[in-house]
Amino acid sequence: MGLNELYARWLDTATRAGFAISLCAFLAYVGGLLPAYVPLEELPRYWALPVDRFIEMTGAPQGWAWLGELGYGDGLNLAAIALLGLVTPVCYVRLVPALIAQRDWLQAALAAAQLVVLLVAASGLAG
């Protein structure tokens, strides 16, 4: 299997999973199956505010704090959004050993470096 096909297969699967999870989480959120951290009918009062003011008024989570709010519809949806941010790192995790197996050292080093950049960004340590 070529690298393009391998990456396409992983990207396709991860993206479809992200899509399905986002859709389910969103339906649970707007359908009222889960309580909302900021009630939906109150959101229009806050969504025109700058983000800092929004957080100040609603107490909405920042950083990784949403992990503690997964019982809320909005917290669960942030988790689904974060999963989409993990699709590319997951594909690179599969790509690096495939490049190494082909002894394509330069491209493998580039892919490994990219993976480090993505993981540092996701960690929130540098932001």
Partner 1 sequence: MEIAAVPWWIWPIALFAVSFAIGIVAVHAGVGGGVLFVPIVGSLFPFHLDFVRGAGLMFALAGTLSAGPPLLRAGMASLRLVLPLALVGSIASFAGALVGFAVPTELLQTLLGVLIIGIALLIWRLRGADSANIEADALGELLRLEGEFRDPAAGVSIDWRTHRTLLGLAAFGAIGFVGGIFGLGAGFANVPALNLLMAAPLKVAVGSSGLLISVINSSAAWVYLHRGALLPLVVVPAILGVMLGSRIGARLLRVTPAPVIRRLVIVVMLLAGARALSRGLGIWV
118 phi and psi angles, rounded to 5 deg: -65, -40
CB-CB contact of 36 with 76 (8 Å): no
The count of other CB atoms within 10 Å of the CB of residue 52 is 9
Question: What mask of x and - would describe binding to partner 1 in positions 65 to 104, judged by CB under 8 A?
Answer: --------xx--xx-xxx-xx-xxx-----x---------
Q: How far apart are CA 65 and CA 84, in angstroms?
A: 18
What residues make contact with partner 1 under the rule CB under 8 A?
Answer: 3-5, 7-9, 11-12, 14-15, 18-19, 22-23, 25-26, 29-30, 40-41, 43-44, 47-51, 54-55, 60-64, 73-74, 77-78, 80-82, 84-85, 87-89, 95, 106-107, 110-111, 113-114, 117-118, 121-122, 124, 126-127
